[in-house]
Chain A
């Protein structure tokens, strides 16, 4: 994890204090090879790799929760002075970024030979800073009005994908345009926060129901059953050890020699596509189970959107339900996440009929009773007290989590050269914690969040992801842990 830290630190340091950027850039530039290639590769393969997708989805959740949460806090602690300081902070940030870009343009001529690495590095820096600005902007705007929320979220990333905010000279050399292009790509990262937020709450199978892709407009991939069910998808070419995530594999590779320790080797393999080449064909997936509606041979074939959809779909539909709820001992699941989701609600707020059927909603129970003769509502013996206690303790838990999240998320980085790699959120640690009130939290906000109990946070060079990972108060099973610990 240290290289990660270094990387981010470097980025941040470089972008935030132009005085030190010179030195740092030198360091970075020398240490990086093949950066650009790697990143391009990642962009393309993102869809094929399960972990990559997972990052995405986790991001989404994290981001959403984050925003919701901030809003919750701020809704009750709206303060124009705070807003002002937030804005001025962002202004400062943008100026710094501008300085940095100026610097890059100026340096352009001197560093002709190492252009590729330079581009990658600069792209990295800008990405980091812009991401932090975006988050800061979203959270600041979120404090204004609940109704503004969606508007903000749907529009905020928009301008950043273009060059509007960043005065790159159009007529500049290919370095600048390349940076721009890469920006465009990179800023797709935060975008899912917005767009896919609602989908995440649903079953993945349903996600693409509304999608109307013309047949042939996308590429159909079909994984084999073994591939789908394989616990590990990444294998070490040297020792053969299997990993669930490519990032973990890369971490592992460090042990095989110094050549794997370079930042380039550790970095996420990036986009392959050369800027300016033809747009990528959209990828969709087919279920290997013959006769399934999700199978490409089915006459009403409905493709699956991502590899994760494939996995969940296959397990849910075509596999045994091997996970049994430890509370009710009746409900069975094939996807462990489904089990966890169920267990969270199992036994809580159960509306019970005399026939033994339980309902999660009262109106459903009453509909059931109205329909059948002789069924009556079953009154629990002791009314509500135990469940209420449970509820409150759960509430406490989640609040605790979130307290941590607040502290981490909003605190930090008044000093930009600090060890903590989080850009943005200069102010407010103390303020938010002070005004923190458990009452303002709706645990439902975090519902979608807990549905993904897998290790959520892959190591990645994106500071945005790091932010989310540590912000969520989860103890990530992989490298993210050290970051969140140190930062807390």
Chain B
């Protein structure tokens, strides 16, 4: 009897036997899906408490709820406020008071309307703050930077686009935060040599330094390259860094692994040689859009770093055949090569480059339009370990080459065949790459459902599929993909004119689906959308532009089921005020585009705008600008929402849509545009 009672008791409180540690382990596994966590915490009071104790990172939707959220989650270490456009000083002081001792990282990169006073609270109260992201704080001045310097334990600091910051503010941070390891000053156009120099002198632990687009010269690099632990140095678009200022540079920065000197227009081979002279262990070098010609001479400047170099980016550079050949023979350990938009690359150059690169994992030859099947064959046979191949717009490559790629490179994970001549046979061969996760087949007019079914059968790990304007695809192909690739997260079927609701219903089986783009699919209706909305709980981006049969009922379903939706485009659809206002039900919604949607009235748009509390960006027709009350627009902008007013002179009749759907007509248009 007693035993029975005990059992009874145990059944009534079955989780007393469960230790908290075990629940934490379970929670770690559940945590991948936020809605699962929610269900878990709603199970019982104890689960609720355990979940609150377990949680370390928070990404609140509204700053107004911060007091309650932080009271519940007392162990918050990472606070991401990027969903909260408006974070006031009060909110920051709440953060400081409630989770001061535990907080380790704060992201304020998308927030505004806080000042130095709020930051001071944060810096003083959060004694163990290690990371802070203040990017896009364009109004931030030196006084606020001086306050940040109070956070003595700071290790990671991002100040991207803090345009009003000057050397003085950076100087304060340099003196205050001596433990800094990773600093990003990208686009801080007020910071010059002095500030960066002082940062390098004072913060000896810096590992990563992003100085992109700063008005610095080579002068401060003398100090920067003396840093003992520097691993990453980004100098993208530093026009002041030139050969003369680097002339006297001698350094032994053996820790440097990653150097980005892309778009440094005044840096030529001479300056680069002195920059590379002491970086013997360099692994990644980015020289995209540099002004120097990649010739034999240039390759000789890589002498010092050739032994360890693993990755080189030469996007948009003028490359010569000799240069590529020399790089291929010098840097045998290369794993990544990017020659995107290098229009001068020829078959001979690429073949010479890859000949000896047995280890090559990633190759980007986007828009190298002179390449033909010859060099692709060489790539396929020389680089069996290839993981990523991007060859958009290499339209001269023959169909056989694609077959060879699938045949030789079985480890491929990422393929971009946009605007290529690949056909079903090529797809069949590629389907043997079992680990393929991203496949882009946009504007591939030669592929049909048959080819896609091979992919569906072979590539079960596919996460991303792009079928933009691949007009040979119908519901059959999509359903075979939906059958075989259950991990699919992103799919683009824009302008595939034969797609109907059947495809959407079959795609709704992919429960991981996050991004769904079906722009310009004239046959899609609300039934198909409803299927996706109900079953794909993670849906966050939805493009329904130019789907004329999408109307309010579709949006009502979305508003009810897709609570994770962040971005939606309903331009040129049949949506009216009712549908738009119903979107206010979705708390996460950030971006709405509703241009040329005839059913919308100004009052309906106004109601929807007011209702959606988290809006960041709204794209509307320009005529609405005068029709909406200016006080509303001001209010929205104060909430952190920006407007894009579009003024298309598009009459939105069925003829233009038909014309757009015709791929030949579209290509003709494209070529005309290019010629212009």
Instruction: Tell me whether A281 is interfacial, beta carbon within 8 Å.
Output: no
Partner of A369 from the list B146, B149, B169, B171 (CB cut-off 8 Å) is B171
Instruction: Tell me whether B520 is interfacial, beta carbon within 8 Å.
Output: no
Instruction: Tell me whether A211 is interfacial, beta carbon within 8 Å.
Output: no
User: Which of B195-221 touch A at CB < 8 Å?
Assistant: 195, 197-198, 201-202
Q: A377-B171, A377-B172 are in contact. Are A383 and B142 (CB under 8 A)?
A: yes
Instruction: Tell me whether A363 is interfacial, beta carbon within 8 Å.
Output: yes
A374-391 CB contact bits vs B (8 Å, 1 = yes)?
111101010100000000
Instruction: Tell me whether B167 is interfacial, beta carbon within 8 Å.
Output: yes
Q: In the complex, what residues of A have CB within 8 A of residue B143's CB?
A: 379, 381, 383
Q: In the complex, what residues of B have CB within 8 A of residue A379's CB?
A: 142-143, 145-146, 168-169, 172
Instruction: Tell me whether B548 is interfacial, beta carbon within 8 Å.
Output: no
In the bound complex, how far is the Cα of B197 from the Cα of A376, in angstroms? 14
In the bound complex, how far is the Cα of B172 from the Cα of A377, in angstroms? 6
Q: Are B194 and A376 in contact (CB under 8 A)?
A: no
Partner of A376 from the list B167, B172, B195 (CB cut-off 8 Å) is B172
In the bound complex, how far is the Cα of B243 from the Cα of A220, in angstroms? 53
Q: In the complex, what residues of B have CB within 8 A of residue A34's CB?
A: none
A85 → chain B, closest Cβ, in Å?
Answer: 44
A378 → chain B, closest Cβ, in Å?
Answer: 8
B281 → chain A, closest Cβ, in Å?
Answer: 27
In the bound complex, how far is the Cα of B178 from the Cα of A376, in angstroms? 12
Q: Are A376 and B141 in contact (CB under 8 A)?
A: no
Instruction: Tell me whether B176 is interfacial, beta carbon within 8 Å.
Output: yes
Q: In the complex, what residues of A have CB within 8 A of residue B202's CB?
A: 370
The listed residue with most A CB atoms (<10 A of its CB), out of B141, B142, B168, B172, is B168
In the bound complex, how far is the Cα of B169 from the Cα of A370, in angstroms? 14
Q: In the complex, what residues of B have CB within 8 A of residue A370's CB?
A: 197-198, 201-202
Q: Are B194 and A362 in contact (CB under 8 A)?
A: yes
A27-61 CB contact bits vs B (8 Å, 1 = yes)?
00000000000000000000000000000000000
Q: Are A366 and B169 in contact (CB under 8 A)?
A: no
Q: In the complex, what residues of B have CB within 8 A of residue A362's CB?
A: 167, 194
In the bound complex, how far is the Cα of B621 from the Cα of A343, in angstroms? 60
Q: Which chain A residue shows the least CB distance to B168? A: A377
Q: Which chain A residue shows the least CB distance to B142? A: A379
In the bound complex, how far is the Cα of B194 from the Cα of A362, in angstroms? 8
Q: Are B167 and A369 in contact (CB under 8 A)?
A: no
A329-367 CB contact bits vs B (8 Å, 1 = yes)?
000000000000000000000000000000000110010
Q: Are B198 and A366 in contact (CB under 8 A)?
A: yes
Instruction: Tell me whether B63 is interfacial, beta carbon within 8 Å.
Output: no
Instruction: Tell me whether B175 is interfacial, beta carbon within 8 Å.
Output: yes
In the bound complex, how far is the Cα of B168 from the Cα of A379, in angstroms? 7
In the bound complex, how far is the Cα of B143 from the Cα of A327, in angstroms? 25
In the bound complex, how far is the Cα of B172 from the Cα of A379, in angstroms? 9
Q: Are B142 and A376 in contact (CB under 8 A)?
A: no
Give the interface residue-count category, chain A: 10 to 19
Q: In the complex, what residues of A have CB within 8 A of residue B201's CB?
A: 370
B299 → chain A, closest Cβ, in Å?
Answer: 38
B175 → chain A, closest Cβ, in Å?
Answer: 4
Q: A362-B194, A370-B202, A376-B149 are in contact. Are A383 and B171 (CB under 8 A)?
A: no
Q: A379-B143, A379-B146, A383-B141 are in contact. Are A366 and B167 (CB under 8 A)?
A: yes
Q: Are A376 and B175 in contact (CB under 8 A)?
A: yes
Q: Which chain A residue shows the least CB distance to B192? A: A362
Q: Are A374 and B146 in contact (CB under 8 A)?
A: no
A282 → chain B, closest Cβ, in Å?
Answer: 43
Partner of B198 from the list A369, A374, A381, A383 (CB cut-off 8 Å) is A369
In the bound complex, how far is the Cα of B629 from the Cα of A263, in angstroms? 85
In the bound complex, how far is the Cα of B503 from the Cα of A271, in angstroms? 110
A118 → chain B, closest Cβ, in Å?
Answer: 63
In the bound complex, how far is the Cα of B167 from the Cα of A366, in angstroms? 9
B119 → chain A, closest Cβ, in Å?
Answer: 13
In the bound complex, how far is the Cα of B34 from the Cα of A393, in angstroms? 62
In the bound complex, how far is the Cα of B141 from the Cα of A376, in angstroms? 16
User: Which of B33-65 touch A at CB < 8 Å?
Assistant: none
In the bound complex, how far is the Cα of B550 from the Cα of A75, in angstroms? 67
In the bound complex, how far is the Cα of B217 from the Cα of A363, in angstroms? 14
Q: Are B176 and A376 in contact (CB under 8 A)?
A: yes
Q: Are A366 and B141 in contact (CB under 8 A)?
A: no
Q: Are A363 and B175 in contact (CB under 8 A)?
A: no
A350 → chain B, closest Cβ, in Å?
Answer: 12
Q: Are A366 and B171 in contact (CB under 8 A)?
A: yes
Q: In the complex, what residues of B have CB within 8 A of residue A366's CB?
A: 167, 171, 194-195, 197-198
User: Which of B132-165 touch A at CB < 8 Å?
Assistant: 141-143, 145-146, 149
Q: In the complex, what residues of A have CB within 8 A of residue B171's CB?
A: 366, 369, 376-377
A377 → chain B, closest Cβ, in Å?
Answer: 4
In the bound complex, how far is the Cα of B176 from the Cα of A377, in angstroms? 10
In the bound complex, how far is the Cα of B515 from the Cα of A191, in angstroms? 81
A383 → chain B, closest Cβ, in Å?
Answer: 6
Q: In the complex, what residues of B have CB within 8 A of residue A375's CB?
A: 175
Q: In the complex, what residues of B have CB within 8 A of residue A381's CB?
A: 143
In the bound complex, how far is the Cα of B12 from the Cα of A370, in angstroms? 67
Q: In the complex, what residues of A have CB within 8 A of residue B172's CB?
A: 376-377, 379
Q: Which chain A residue shows the least CB distance to B197? A: A366
Q: In the complex, what residues of A have CB within 8 A of residue B146's CB?
A: 376, 379
B581 → chain A, closest Cβ, in Å?
Answer: 45
Q: Are A374 and B194 in contact (CB under 8 A)?
A: no
Q: In the complex, what residues of A have CB within 8 A of residue B198's CB?
A: 366, 369-370
In the bound complex, how far is the Cα of B167 from the Cα of A362, in angstroms? 9
Q: In the complex, what residues of B have CB within 8 A of residue A383's CB?
A: 141-143
B181 → chain A, closest Cβ, in Å?
Answer: 20
In the bound complex, how far is the Cα of B149 from the Cα of A370, in angstroms? 16
B56 → chain A, closest Cβ, in Å?
Answer: 33
In the bound complex, how far is the Cα of B145 from the Cα of A88, in angstroms? 63
In the bound complex, how far is the Cα of B172 from the Cα of A404, in angstroms? 46
Q: Which chain B residue shows the least CB distance to A351? A: B168
In the bound complex, how far is the Cα of B145 from the Cα of A383, in angstroms? 13
Q: In the complex, what residues of A have CB within 8 A of residue B142's CB?
A: 377, 379, 383
Q: In the complex, what residues of B have CB within 8 A of residue A363's CB?
A: 194
Q: Which chain A residue shows the least CB distance to B175? A: A376
Q: A363-B194, A366-B197 are in contact. Are A374 and B168 (CB under 8 A)?
A: no
Q: Which chain A residue shows the least CB distance to B200? A: A370
Q: Are B197 and A374 in contact (CB under 8 A)?
A: no
User: Which of B110-143 touch A at CB < 8 Å?
Assistant: 141-143
User: Which of A450-476 touch B at CB < 8 Å?
Assistant: none
A372 → chain B, closest Cβ, in Å?
Answer: 10
User: Which of A167-223 touch B at CB < 8 Å?
Assistant: none
Q: Which chain A residue shows the least CB distance to B170? A: A377
A363-B194, A376-B171 known, 4 other contacts, Cβ within 8 Å: A369-B171, A376-B172, A379-B146, A383-B142
- Cβ contacts A to B, 21 pairs, < 8 Å: A362-B167, A366-B194, A366-B195, A366-B197, A370-B201, A374-B175, A376-B171, A376-B172, A376-B175, A376-B176, A377-B142, A377-B168, A379-B143, A379-B145, A379-B146, A379-B169, A379-B172, A381-B143, A383-B141, A383-B142, A383-B143
* Chain A residues with a Cβ under 8 A of chain B: 362-363, 366, 369-370, 374-377, 379, 381, 383
Top 6 A-B pairs ranked by shortest CB distance?
Answer: A376-B175, A377-B171, A366-B194, A377-B168, A379-B142, A370-B201
